[in-house]
């Protein structure tokens, strides 16, 4: 069973994502904070991370940058899923190391296929 860490502060999105990935056989961990995500990842690295950009403490961009700078975490796939849709934000997300950048609202099929492709 693959471990998926969802870093998302929206209850609506969490209520959509959690059952979807549980049905797909993932062990789902959640946090609503970028700082907490970094602690979780350091103590128990997941197989993949679904990361929002807009978080209450540090941005998802900052979280991704920190992960990709460390040897122990740089190979963990990161999928950014955000309401931020501008080309520059998508470019930046991929430039700092995200493996994929999806915009909300995201279709379930697109989200699942992206996650499946990166953990295969």
Go through the domains of the chain in sequence order and give each one's CATH number: 3-119 (3.40.50.2300)
DSSP class of 80: E
Beta-bridge partners for 81: 102
Nearest to 81 by CA among 107, 46, 120, 117: 107
- Are the C-beta atoms of 4 and 48 separated by less than 8 Å? yes
What is the pLDDT averaged over residues 2-12?
A: 98
Q: pTM for the whole thing? A: 0.97
The pLDDT of 103-116, averaged and rounded, is 97
The span from the CA of 30 to the CA of 95, in Å, is 25
Q: What is the pLDDT of residues 40-67, one digit of tens each?
A: 999 999 999 999 999 999 999 999 999 9
């Amino acid at each position: 069973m693959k471990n998926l860490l969802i870093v998302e502060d929206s209850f609506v999105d969490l209520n959509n994502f959690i059952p979807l990935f549980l049905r797909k056989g993932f062990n789902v961990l959640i946090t609503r904070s970028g700082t907490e995500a970094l602690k979780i990842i350091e103590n128990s690295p997941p197989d993949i991370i679904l990361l929002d950009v807009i978080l209450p403490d540090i941005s998802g961009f900052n979280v991704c940058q920190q992960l990709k700078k460390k040897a122990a975490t740089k190979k963990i796939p990161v999928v950014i899923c955000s309401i931020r849709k501008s080309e520059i934000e998508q470019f930046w997300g991929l430039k700092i190391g995200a493996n994929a950048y999806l915009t909300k609202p995201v279709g379930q099929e697109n989200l699942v296929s992206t996650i499946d492709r990166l953990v295969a």
